[in-house]
């Protein structure tokens, strides 16, 4: 078994139901998953999240992910010496990569690890168009790779997840002009569960046994539905979205302890019950700047990270969203903290690094389509874009998630949370672009000679 671990908007929904002495928060979530394809087999967990045979999303146990890591380490081939050394400018020729993949496909061989893990590329900082050699080149920092304790393929020195060919294929194939829709992924409580829970809560006056009450509330709410649009729900790309969103909700609602210092849960920060107004969080890509050369043949995406956004929604007794309201100040402070800590989180909990990688690949794919970089290069990426040439791996798609409760006491008041979206607008982040004449010289140096291999430093 082997593993390869947009402007994008990730919307996290939460529903709050109130009673006299406690409130219940239902988190809306996001992620998605996939099964063995032509390229390789994928492990059963992403970022500590597992999906069983019935499609139910759960937290993977430490033992499960430990076994996964051992299997992954055993399956990895030694990293080629030339790829082991860290570099700030690892370059990948998409045309040469296609040729290398086509050779493996013709011989019916599984792809080499360096293809699956895109030569250890960890970030796309530059996109160059090379009309002379009919090519598009991606460039950014890269290094050798290993497997972390959760079974994620990460850089040996940095601990950052490497980019995956499978995610790049999904990003390219969903960035076509006819598919300029919002890529979305959400976890939503079922109306009947919300109504059932709300009716019961109206009869309660005090929570005498928090443990028993949490279990009862989760049971009354029942399972929550997972929905994925645009990207295949069986893809690793979708699984990463859901897993990162699910993990963010669990951190916010005090269901998991933060792996980084200085990031308390939202429930710990909130000093009073929320009533029927609930915070909604989502994640968007953040760049310091996006620049292009005057001729549009060189692009620089600088300072890639992720930011958390928030606003408030109101839900009626049946659990249906009524209106969007001003953001809760505490929810805004938590979102700001999450944003400030994101780069640390992306190393401590690699699913957040994987999400940042997926965002980048979605943005770059949208850039290639919007700016017609294939037309400028004179090369259409036929192998990467053809599903029959290179299949995207398929994994079991999660269909629902069980509700799990968490409680925090504020004075005489108990605040209960029950864990239970993601929206990706792949073209929004490339609207604000500035010209930088010096990028032309960077592109000229990078494309001076036609590479012998599909990657080089």
Instruction: Tell me if 266 sits within 8 A of 330, measured CB to CB.
Output: yes
pLDDT at site 411? 59
- CB neighbour class for 88 (10 Å; exposed up to 12, middle 13-18, buried from 19): exposed
If one counts every other C-beta atom within 10 angstroms of the C-beta of residue 164, the result is: 27
pLDDT at site 98? 95
Instruction: Tell me if 246 sits within 8 A of 385, measured CB to CB.
Output: no
If one counts every other C-beta atom within 10 angstroms of the C-beta of residue 288, the result is: 9
- For residue 446 the two structure tokens come to 């990078």
pLDDT at site 126? 97
pLDDT at site 45? 64
pLDDT at site 42? 43
pLDDT at site 12? 28
pLDDT at site 121? 98
Chain centroid to Cα 169, Å, comes to: 15
- For residue 426 the two structure tokens come to 């792949």
pLDDT at site 29? 32
Residues across the chain: 457
If one counts every other C-beta atom within 10 angstroms of the C-beta of residue 257, the result is: 10
* Helix (H/G/I), strand (E/B), else coil: 304: coil
- For residue 416 the two structure tokens come to 């209960």
**What order do you get walking across the sheet with 404-410 strand by strand?**
14-18, 22-27, 413-419, 404-410
* Helix (H/G/I), strand (E/B), else coil: 186: strand
Instruction: Tell me if 241 sits within 8 A of 31, measured CB to CB.
Output: yes
Enumerate residue ranges in the chain where pLDDT < 70.
1-45, 53, 59-68, 177-180, 201, 204-211, 213-214, 272-278, 312-327, 404-426
pLDDT at site 319? 56
Pairing type for strands 434-435 and 289-292 reads parallel
What does the pLDDT look like over 288-304, one tens digit per residue? 889 999 999 999 999 88
pLDDT at site 159? 93
pLDDT at site 8? 30
């Amino acid at each position: 078994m082997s593993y390869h671990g947009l402007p994008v908007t990730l919307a996290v929904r939460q529903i709050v139901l109130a009673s006299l002495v406690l409130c219940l928060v239902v988190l809306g979530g996001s992620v998605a998953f996939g099964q063995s394809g032509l390229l390789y087999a994928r492990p059963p967990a992403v970022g500590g999240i597992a999906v069983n045979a019935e499609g139910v999303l759960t937290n993977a146990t430490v033992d499960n992910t430990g076994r996964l890591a051992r299997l992954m380490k055993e399956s990895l081939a030694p990293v080629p010496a030339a790829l082991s050394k860290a570099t700030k400018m690892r370059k990948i020729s998409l045309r040469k990569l296609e040729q290398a993949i086509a050779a493996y496909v013709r011989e019916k061989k599984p792809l080499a690890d360096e293809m699956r893990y895109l030569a250890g590329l960890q970030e796309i900082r530059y996109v160059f168009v090379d009309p002379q050699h009919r090519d598009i080149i991606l460039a950014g920092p890269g290094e050798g790779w290993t497997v972390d304790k959760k079974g994620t393929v990460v850089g040996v020195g940095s601990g950052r997840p490497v980019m995956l060919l499978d995610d790049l294929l999904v990003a390219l194939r969903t960035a076509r002009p006819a598919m300029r829709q919002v890529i979305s992924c959400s976890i939503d409580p079922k109306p009947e569960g919300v109504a059932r829970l709300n009716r019961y809560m109206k009869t309660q006056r005090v929570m005498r046994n928090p443990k028993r009450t949490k279990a009862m509330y989760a049971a009354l709410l029942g399972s929550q539905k997972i929905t994925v649009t645009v990207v295949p729900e069986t893809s690793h790309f979708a699984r990463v979205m859901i897993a990162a969103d699910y993990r963010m909700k669990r951190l916010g609602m005090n269901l998991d302890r933060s792996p980084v210092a200085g990031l308390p849960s939202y429930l710990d920060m909130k000093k009073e019950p929320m009533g029927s107004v609930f915070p909604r969080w989502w994640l968007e890509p953040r760049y310091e700047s996006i620049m292009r050369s005057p001729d549009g043949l060189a692009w620089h995406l600088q300072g890639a990270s992720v930011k958390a956004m928030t606003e408030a929604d109101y839900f009626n007794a049946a659990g249906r969203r009524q209106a969007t309201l001003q953001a809760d100040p505490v929810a805004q402070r938590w979102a700001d903290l999450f944003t400030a800590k994101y780069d640390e989180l992306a190393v401590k909990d690699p699913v957040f690094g994987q999400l940042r990688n997926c965002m980048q690949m979605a943005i770059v794919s949208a850039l290639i389509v919007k700016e017609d970089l294939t037309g400028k290069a004179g090369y259409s990426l036929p192998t990467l874009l053809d599903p029959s040439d290179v299949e995207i791996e398929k994994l079991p798609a999660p269909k629902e998630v069980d509700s799990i409760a968490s409680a925090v006491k504020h004075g005489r008041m108990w605040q209960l949370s029950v864990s239970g979206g993601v929206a990706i607008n792949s073209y929004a982040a490339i609207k604000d672009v500035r010209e930088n004449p010096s990028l032309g010289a960077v592109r000229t140096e990078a494309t001076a000679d036609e590479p012998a291999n599909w990657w080089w430093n």
